[in-house]
Chain A
Amino acid sequence: MTSISPILQNKINAIKNGNNAPQQDDKIYNDLTRRANSVKPNEAKAKIVKENMLQSAVSAVKDTGKDCVNFVNIMKTGKTSDHNLGRLNDVGLKLGAVLIASFLTTQARTKKQAAMNFIGGAGFIASMSLWPKIFINLPARIVHGFNIDKKYISAQGDKKDFGLDNQYYVWDAVPEEDLRKAAKRTGIDYDSKNGKEKIQRKIQKTILQNRTLNMATVGFATPLMTALACDKIEPKVKDALIKHEYKKVEKKVTSSEELIKYLSGLKRQESDVRNVKEIEALFSRYMAENKEFDSDFFKELAGYLNLDITNDFKDSDTLKPIGKITYDKEGVAKVLEKIYKNGDKVNIKNIAEQLMQEEFEGAVFGKGFIEPKNKSEHYNLFKAIKKCKDKDNIKTAIEASGFDNSIKTELTNGIDNLDIKEAISQIKTKLLKDYVERVVLDPEQVKDLTARQIKDLLAKKGYTDNILDNITISILPKGKDEFKKTILNYNENMLSATRTRLKEYLKLLTPVVGECEESIYTQSISQTTQKLLKSFDLPMGKRQNPRLAKIAAILHIPQKSVEKNSQEITLSKLKESRHVNVANMLHDLFAAKVANIEYGSEEYKEFISQLYSDRIGENIEKVIKNLEDERMLDTICQNSSDDKLLKELDSAIAGGKNANGIKSHLQKFIKEAQVNIEAIKTRAIICANFEQRLKDGSLKDEIRYMDFSGDKIKSLIEKIEGLRLSEDKVNPLIEEINALETSSKDKVSSVIKQIKNLGLSEDEVNPLIKIIDESKMLDDKVEDIINQLKLLVYDDGTARRNNNLYLEDVKRAPDLIKMIFNKEKFKAELEAFPELKDVIDNLSSSQINSFKDSKKLLSLSHILKVRATEIFNNKAWKKTFVPMFAALVGITLAVQPLFGNIKNEFEDEAGKGGIK
């Protein structure tokens, strides 16, 4: 109970018994006697922490927060415990990881890279603690029966690992039941002589050995675990990001009107105002020397007013839609000159002339039987005059009206020499002119207004949008200073707004049809190709080590050729061969698949439904349609000024309507992407169909009689008509022969049969058949054309670029293309997927067009090659590191049962030694 020595205890008893009174200054004895026999050892302040997985995760986060508060305390007071000071190192580590990840994000090209930086960093730090939790602590618990990952809170309030220091174990904190349970599970008798020491020693030893194992293996395991986990997560992150970006665009592009509103409502950004100093310098150069503005001036000025945005985007992929536009400097210079020379103050006659159009006329005088809304004096006079049949009546009517005398004389002037009708029409135009000049456009009012304000004034007077839209009012002022002001204003406010709109449009376009890594376009292509490659299930194949091959060749050692001579098609073959060979390999693969399947059967339908891939983005067709809407493209480059000449300048800067303008470029780009997206979904189906037609030979027949057309058909028909046979026999035959002009040529054999069945003599039949046979192709030529067709189907883009493959038959190309993409031969496929119809039409027309334009369409062999390379590289990487990880895990788990062996350490154990 107490821990006082017997001498002192004696003294205390003596004092209590009344002998030896205490001395006054004997403080120590007084204290002792006060608390004698009641001093106990302090209670154990340390406590084991009991938490499950979720709570421990939450408290880990809380502890990090406590560390930050602790940091502030340390800076203030300078007092801390060693353990808390050591924990600050972990905080710094996490801060460092965040800084590194954010630095790498500033250099990331794509959003997926940026996201993976943070995921990888967090995963690395997490796997530093997950490796021991999953692969060391958990097996230890299962094998040995007790938890080695305990934590306790010390007397100073620090949360520490139980086995942190091998020579300092706080056994006071562990309640006895836990030790009993552990002893029971490990077969130690707790109540025996050394039972408690044994179980304590066993726990201690197990913990030490496992912590050493952790130190040995965590260096290998953490990078491996992180890399393997991120390898799995990466494609999902990429898909999620692409979808997210696409949805953002989809929200803005719900309808073209909304998009137009959004784009036209964008304010210009300050960073888009360019070349201000250069323009000012140019103007001051010329105006200081009082030089006239000549053509050089306008050319230079045109150079500064451009839409060049190449330096605004970090990656060049966003710029691909407008990549190769040549800005038309000369056209812009011409318009600038025009602006300089044609500017004038508000010219009422100019406006009035425009207002005097038919529609405006109808607004004043009505059309036919419909009366105008505002019935003015002029209208009344016109009404009175309309029905007059005599000039004198006209004159009296004019006199009777309420106009001024000058106007009256003006009106009656010069009608004497004209017919009545002409006179009426002349008076009508004069009335209209007066109306416009005096009533509508009051000179005093209109003098200082801008174009917009004039239009508003007219609108107030009740003139409809139809009329006002057709009026262009150009009120650009004249003179050098005014010109300079106009140009600077245009550059600052309007051209910069165009730049902003264009950039925003490109940003909307990229996630949908851009040629970058993260767009719906690229994603649909990669998903399709992956599906296709998976369905072929190709083995990896190995590549010969070129160095070893060279050495073997020099030393004349026969090296086992791993893959060179084998007939099997492998991923490595796909990635290393030239495009032509890849196309042939694909032909072999498809032919092998289709060999046993009959056309039109259920098996065939199953097969092609495997090859068809669903659309990726919802509503993607609608979105694309809105993005390439003509009005919308106009909104980008047209500023909302009503000035006619400035509008001309806008369209000149944007390239105008020629093929190199921005608008046409964008439309072409989007159209191509659209066609490719559609095509890639169904490409494989067309290949299957091609193989089927090759298999049953119908394609060969078509090719054989390809040249039988035009004049030859005519001559055959003439000859048949010349035989003078009965009409009911001949007419169906002639119809069929005529139909051969446009339909597929495999019906020629049936025509030949029918001719033979006409019941004619040999002398009459042979010349007919000779005409057909003259245009029959030789077999080698047929084979040659079939090889070219294979390339067309499997590798249209690349093979065409090496034009020598098509040199001979460039003229045949449109016919060949029509032969392949012939809808009549796609019956089974169209049954299953009706939307194939449009795809086939689009593909055939774009293939024909690309022969003329030498543009590239998507080549199946190229994209499969790229995809095969990716898959091969990934598999090669995994082949190295997955076995390494598996071996590590195996060793870690295998070693666990060897731990915790406390034989020969205690006296009562049979054997030698032992700690005494």
Chain B
Amino acid sequence: MQQVKLTSVDNLPPTGYYVSNEQKKEKFYKNESHIHKQGPLAGIKVSAHRLTNDIFTYFPKGFSGSKNSDFYEYLSLGMVPYLVGSAMLIATNLPNKLYNASDAMEAGKCAKRFGAGVVLYGLGKLASQKLSRTLIHKTTGIPLDLYFLNRVNELPEPGREKGLVRVQYPKIFDSVNFYRRDILAKDGEINHGNLYYFNDQLAKKLGYDKKLNDPEQTTGDKIRATKARATALESISKYVTAACGVALGNQAAFEDLKIAHPTTYISCFKKACKQLWQPKKGKNILTKYYGRTLAIASLATTLLAWIIPSLTFKRKPDTIKTKIDDKKEFEVA
């Protein structure tokens, strides 16, 4: 295995001065896009970063019509209507201060159930996606939720000389066809001395004991297919789980919720789960057991969103490709 040298570090001292790999890495990390250290709370940190930038940076850039406003910023702006809309939905259901005492109490109960439903909608989506992606990571080795630090060099705004350098946190596997192979390769080179480190790990999971010459040929299509299938199935399981969350929030247990005491949140949630499981008064089987159906369906679709991509990942092709096929046409999208 050849030791590939770093090429993008400038201003090395001329001779006899040992620069450790760590220092080189630091300098690299200061200037270029790379995969940063992520813990389990990475998603929350990224969302917080996006939200603060929404209000202070992206909205002003968008309103001023700047040329540096790109697609990442537009997608980040999409969080705002989601949060504002949820709050507005709850607000339209709150009791008015001019209502009677008895009317206000009734309206308050409805508002609490509605609010619980809205909150559990978002939590349900998140939970379903997280669960299926973690399981996929364990069985296939593809971390679909992997963030990286992207440094964007902007064009100078009118009236300035230099453009700013901004930080963004997209995911590596955001795109299906153009996942960031270059950053994965760089990361493998810097941390493990192997450009194909990531693909080698995947090949091991696929069952290839010998080291392949070009693992990317085997794994490239697999990665794309996994991401496509996982996202497609998630787009259903997310919303089924969200519907289950709304159903949970609609149970009568949430009428006892006290917003000022957080301990009531958990007890109401447990009671609501039990109430959802019980059959209700009704004629058909469907109306009686709808809550149960939703809960089971949400679990089933989430697990399907894990199982199907994993199974198709492990399916071996008939022959192992070692050469490029001359006659095959490749389309550059």
Contact = CB atoms under 8 A, between A and B. Distances in A.
Nearest to A163: B74
Residue in A82, A572, A904 whose Cβ sees the most chain B Cβ within 10 Å: A82
A224 B81 CA distance: 13
A915 B158 contact: yes
Interface stretch (B186-194, B255-263, B280-288): B280-288
A21 B294 CA distance: 76
A91 interface: yes
B70 A167 contact: yes
A576 B100 contact: yes
B176 A88 contact: no
B240 A212 contact: no
B92 A219 contact: no
B67 interface: yes
A92 interface: yes
B74 A219 contact: no
Given A89-B235, A96-B243, A880-B96, A166 B74 contact: yes
Given A79-B228, A85-B176, A91 B235 contact: yes
Nearest to B93: A227
Contact of A103 (B78, B228, B250, B282): B250
A157 to B, nearest CB: 11
A220 B246 contact: no
B239 A545 contact: no
A88 B69 CA distance: 25
B19 interface: no
Nearest to A206: B65
A215 B77 CA distance: 7
A699 to B, nearest CB: 36
Contact of B70 (A166, A206, A216, A872): A166
Contact of B175 (A82, A155, A216, A545): A82
A107 B280 contact: yes
Given A219-B81, A223-B89, A905-B158, A164 B71 contact: yes
Contacts of B242: 96
Contacts of A106: 280, 282, 286-287, 290
A725 interface: no
Contacts of B63: 209, 212-213
Given A576-B100, A914-B158, A99 B176 contact: no
Chain B contact residues, majority secondary structure: helix
Contacts of A904: 158-159
Contacts of A164: 71, 74
Interface in B231-248: 231-233, 235-236, 238-240, 242-243, 246-247
B82 A219 contact: yes
B281 A219 contact: no
Interface in A249-301: none
Interface in B206-231: 221, 224-226, 228-229, 231
Contact of B294 (A99, A220, A913): A99
B271 to A, nearest CB: 17
B330 interface: no
Contacts of B243: 96, 99-100, 103
B98 A913 contact: no
Nearest to A880: B96
A220 B225 contact: no
A211 B246 CA distance: 30
Interface string A669-700: 00000000000000000000000000000000
Contacts of A92: 235-236, 238-239
Contacts of A510: none
A369 interface: no
B159 A913 contact: yes
Contacts of A209: 62-65
Interface residues of B, number: 64
Chain A contact residues, majority secondary structure: helix
B12 interface: no
Contact of A165 (B65, B71, B98): B71
Contact of A876 (B81, B98, B176): B98
Interface in A178-220: 204-206, 208-209, 211-213, 215-216, 218-220
Interface in B57-87: 59, 62-67, 69-71, 74, 77-78, 80-85
B160 to A, nearest CB: 8
Interface in B80-129: 80-85, 88-89, 91-92, 96-100, 103
B324 interface: no
A576 B80 CA distance: 42
B308 interface: yes
Contacts of A102: 290
A314 interface: yes
Contacts of B88: 219-220, 222-224
A851 interface: no
B333 interface: yes
B47 interface: no
B312 interface: yes
Nearest to B233: A75
A710 interface: no
Contacts of B228: 74, 78-80, 85
Contacts of A211: 62, 74
B145 to A, nearest CB: 16
Interface string B286-323: 11001100100000000000001000100000000000
A899 interface: yes
Contact of B159 (A215, A543, A912): A912
Contact of B232 (A74, A100, A222): A74
Residue in B67, B226, B282 whose Cβ sees the most chain A Cβ within 10 Å: B67
Contact of B240 (A88, A99, A155): A99
B267 interface: no
B240 A81 contact: no
Contacts of A103: 243, 246-247, 250, 290-291, 294
A171 interface: no
Residue in B65, B74, B92, B226 whose Cβ sees the most chain A Cβ within 10 Å: B65
B264 interface: no
Contacts of B278: none
Given A92-B235, A881-B92, A913-B158, A81 B177 contact: yes
Nearest to A313: B281
A609 interface: no
A903 B317 CA distance: 60
B177 to A, nearest CB: 7
Contacts of A790: none
B103 A869 contact: yes
Contacts of B59: 212, 215-216
B23 to A, nearest CB: 35
A216 B282 CA distance: 43
Given A156-B333, A212-B77, A104 B235 contact: no
Contact of A78 (B229, B239, B250): B229
Interface in A53-77: 71, 74-75, 77
A570 to B, nearest CB: 12
A543 B83 contact: no
A866 to B, nearest CB: 11
B99 A208 contact: no
Given A85-B176, A209-B65, A167 B71 contact: yes
11 contacts: A71-B232, A78-B226, A80-B176, A81-B333, A96-B239, A96-B243, A103-B290, A166-B71, A211-B74, A880-B96, A915-B158
Given A80-B176, A167-B70, A212-B77, 17 more contacts: A74-B232, A77-B225, A82-B175, A82-B176, A85-B232, A96-B238, A96-B240, A96-B242, A103-B291, A107-B250, A155-B333, A166-B67, A166-B69, A220-B88, A223-B85, A873-B96, A904-B158
